Amino acid sequence: MTLLDTYLVILAVASFANGQFCEHQWEGKFADHKVDGVPYLQAVDNVAPPPLEIRPLIVTGPSDNRVDLIFLGDGYTEAEKEKFFSDALFLAENVTDGQTFNDVAPLMNWWAGFSPSAESGVGVGGQPLDTVYGLYRDGTELRGVYYDKPEVARAACQSTDACDYPILLGNDPYYGGLGGSFTVITSSTVNGPAILRHELGHSIINVGEEYDGATGYFGVNSARTTSSVPWTQWYSEPETEPRVQRSNMPIQAYTWSLLNTTTAYSSTFTSAGTYDNYLVQFSISGVPESSDLLVQLDGVDLKWEVFQGIELDRYIYNLPFNASLAPGEHRLTFTLLNPDREGTAQLCNLEVLEYGDENERFAPELGYYGLYPTYSDRNGTTYRPTNNDCLMRWTYTVDFCSACIEGLWWALLRPLSLIDQVDQVAQASGVTNITLELLPVAQFRDVPRPSEAYTIEWFNAADSSPLSQWTNQTSALISQSIAEVDVVVRFWTAQVKIDRDGVLVQEERIAVKRCGTETSYPRRSLVEN
């Protein structure tokens, strides 16, 4: 081993020991990850938090009854402070404005916390720069971005009550990130939003991957067998299931090959020749022009074209072909044509998928829910709900599939109360006006949704008799002869078919105020103790 190799091995071991994994991999359920019995983010390191200037980005309610996400900037100097806040706002708006987290946005608050870094950017070659949290890449390849100072990030998180999901935002224009206790992303314009929503999918919903060639497949979007499917409620044609969509993955690899003009990169694979059509997927970085690179299958130009404006950043390309591959060996070739790109042009990964035949269909259409095989790095099969409808599989898709959205509601509602606040005004006439403030969904959204509704029922707690005249009212006039009322709030949304954890029902006992005073108390978050 050379000195550099030794160093890289030590680094890899150190990263593993810290619980850091590659981008698109993830260490387990976010807040449940414990160190010596203490939730990871609550462990105390005796490290002073960095000075944090926190600004609200999108705030929908009190932190104690919202899920708070906060961007913590790394590699932004004092002079780049406004760039940090504008990068963070761009990202928060991108994943909530009409897409991704749009439906659940009233349950979330987004914040940005700035601490100046001495140096600008993120480190490469395993070496962090002099920055607040010490973000760096392993080499130069555009994949994982790791953190060198988790104790500082944790102290920053502990210094505010707006930090349920800390997101370390590296000041770097290229693809990269990490899922886990700290979600790591970069300010890449094209890839930043894509990686943010994907990593938060891991962190919040507690799901593994949906794309092929990974290691961790679990959660509401993954089934090991056709008889243990967690999304049967979403099947498009339940009467025909379980019916596995027919596909095959004849080749898949993370190559990370630096391309040169002397020798083309090529790889061979074998097709059984029994499928109707196929897809070639690959990702490359450092190739800004279509004329820089020739991509061929069996010597035929696949007419690859660069994603406009990508410059040197990484991009994932999917080229579908409506033809069957002939039985036998095939060769996929990547020829670098422009010598000026040597040193940057990199083939990150490649994959070929084959689909369906006349007897056994493969349903490619968006919105179809069934059983689609997903292939791991060792070609093991699990199943997913849709072909490419979920951003956990298809990086540039902006939305989750229905199974993940249902899981998202479960995960976000679990620590919250449907009731934000209870106000009471005891009137001289002997009645008390009790008013509930509910989470701003259903009719309390800025634009109310017919696909959501609240049902509200009031009861005299003494004998459980219903106080029907106040049904579905957020306020009720209660006689002070009633000591306590029970209120049952139910939230209904078409996006949750099964209320597995009872998160759609909230029952609250309220002592009726008698004196002529006004009281209000906020609901406490259920996870606090």
Q: Is residue 471 close enough to count as binding ligand NAG by CB under 6 A?
A: yes
Q: Which is nearer to ligand NAG, 159 or 455 (CB)?
A: 455
Q: Is residue 431 close enough to count as binding ligand NAG by CB under 6 A?
A: no
Q: Is residue 319 close enough to count as binding ligand NAG by CB under 6 A?
A: no
Q: What angle do CA 380, 384, 385 make, to 5 degrees?
A: 165
- Torsion angle of the four alpha carbons 411, 29, 33, 96, in this order, in degrees rounded to the nearest 10: -60
Instruction: Output Rg (C-alpha) for the chain, integer angstroms.
Output: 26
Q: Is residue 433 close enough to count as binding ligand NAG by CB under 6 A?
A: yes
Cα–Cα distance, 420 to 498 (Å, whole number): 23
Q: Is residue 356 close enough to count as binding ligand NAG by CB under 6 A?
A: no
Q: Which is nearer to ligand NAG, 15 or 386 (CB)?
A: 386
Site for ligand NAG in 45-64 (CB under 6 A): none
Q: Which is nearer to ligand NAG, 94 or 417 (CB)?
A: 94
Q: Which is nearer to ligand NAG, 218 or 256 (CB)?
A: 256
DSSP letters for 299-327:
TEE----PPTT-TTS-EEEEEEESSPPPS
Q: Which is nearer to ligand NAG, 66 or 246 (CB)?
A: 246
Site for ligand NAG in 205-234 (CB under 6 A): none
Cα–Cα distance, 190 to 24 (Å, whole number): 17
For residue 450, which amino acid is it? P
Q: Which is nearer to ligand NAG, 148 or 354 (CB)?
A: 354
User: Can you name the residues that pair with 352 across neighbouring β-strands?
Assistant: 251, 280
Q: With CB under 6 A as the contact rule, which of the stretches 127-135, 186-194, 508-516, 520-528 interacts with ligand NAG?
A: 186-194
DSSP letters for 403-435:
HHHHHHHHHHHTTS-SEEEEEEEE-TTSEEEEE
Cα–Cα distances in angstroms (integers) from residue 92 to residues 68, 108, 112, 117, in the given order: 12, 11, 9, 22
Q: Which is nearer to ligand NAG, 42 or 471 (CB)?
A: 471
Q: Which is nearer to ligand NAG, 20 or 281 (CB)?
A: 281
Site for ligand NAG in 474-493 (CB under 6 A): 475, 477
Q: Which is nearer to ligand NAG, 58 or 190 (CB)?
A: 190
Q: How far is the CB of 260 from ligand NAG (least distance, A)?
A: 4
Element (H, E) at 88: helix 81-94
Q: Which is nearer to ligand NAG, 33 or 304 (CB)?
A: 304
Q: Is residue 435 close enough to count as binding ligand NAG by CB under 6 A?
A: yes
DSSP SS3 for 222 = coil
DSSP SS3 for 71 = strand
Q: Which is nearer to ligand NAG, 157 or 442 (CB)?
A: 442
Q: How far is the CB of 263 from ligand NAG (least distance, A)?
A: 4
For residue 8, which amino acid is it? L
Those residues with Cβ within 8 angstroms of residue 215's Cβ, 6 or more apart along the chain or in another chain:
25, 209, 376, 377
Q: How far is the CB of 171 from ligand NAG (least distance, A)?
A: 16
Cα–Cα distance, 405 to 385 (Å, whole number): 12
Q: Among residues 179, 48, 61, which one has the least CA distance to residue 115?
A: 48
Residue 340: CB atoms within 10 Å: 11
From the list 251, 312, 422, 488, which residue makes contact with ligand NAG (rule: CB under 6 A)? 251
Cα–Cα distance, 211 to 376 (Å, whole number): 8
Q: How far is the CB of 279 from ligand NAG (least distance, A)?
A: 12
Phi, psi of 84 (to 5 degrees): -60, -50
From the list 43, 59, 124, 190, which residue makes contact with ligand NAG (rule: CB under 6 A)? 190
From the list 262, 359, 429, 529, which residue makes contact with ligand NAG (rule: CB under 6 A)? 262
Query: How many residues touch ligand NAG (CB under 6 A)?
Result: 28
Q: How far is the CB of 92 from ligand NAG (least distance, A)?
A: 10
Q: How far is the CB of 98 from ligand NAG (least distance, A)?
A: 6
> What's the first-to-final CA gap in the chain, in angstroms?
51
Q: Is residue 257 close enough to count as binding ligand NAG by CB under 6 A?
A: yes
From the list 6, 127, 472, 520, which residue makes contact with ligand NAG (rule: CB under 6 A)? 472
Site for ligand NAG in 265-294 (CB under 6 A): 265
Cα–Cα distance, 13 to 8 (Å, whole number): 9
Q: Is residue 248 close enough to count as binding ligand NAG by CB under 6 A?
A: yes
Q: With CB under 6 A as the contact rule, which of the stretches 65-73, 216-224, 278-286, 467-475 interacts with ligand NAG?
A: 467-475
Query: Going residue by residue from 89 to 118, which x/- string records binding to ligand NAG, judged by CB under 6 A?
Result: ----xx--xxx-------------------
Q: Cis omega before residue 193 (within 30°)?
A: no
From the list 127, 291, 379, 465, which residue makes contact with ligand NAG (rule: CB under 6 A)? 379
Those residues with Cβ within 8 angstroms of residue 273's Cβ, 6 or more apart along the chain or in another chain:
324, 325, 326, 327, 328
Q: Is residue 260 close enough to count as binding ligand NAG by CB under 6 A?
A: yes
DSSP letters for 439-496:
-S-GGGSSS--TTEEEEEEEEETTTTEE-GGGTT-SEEEEETT--EEEEEEEEEETT-
Q: Which is nearer to ligand NAG, 124 or 251 (CB)?
A: 251
Q: Which is nearer to ligand NAG, 97 or 298 (CB)?
A: 97
Q: Is residue 322 close enough to count as binding ligand NAG by CB under 6 A?
A: yes
Contact positions vs ligand NAG (CB under 6 A): 93-94, 97-99, 189-190, 193, 248-252, 257, 260, 262-263, 265, 322, 379, 433, 435, 453, 455, 471-472, 475, 477
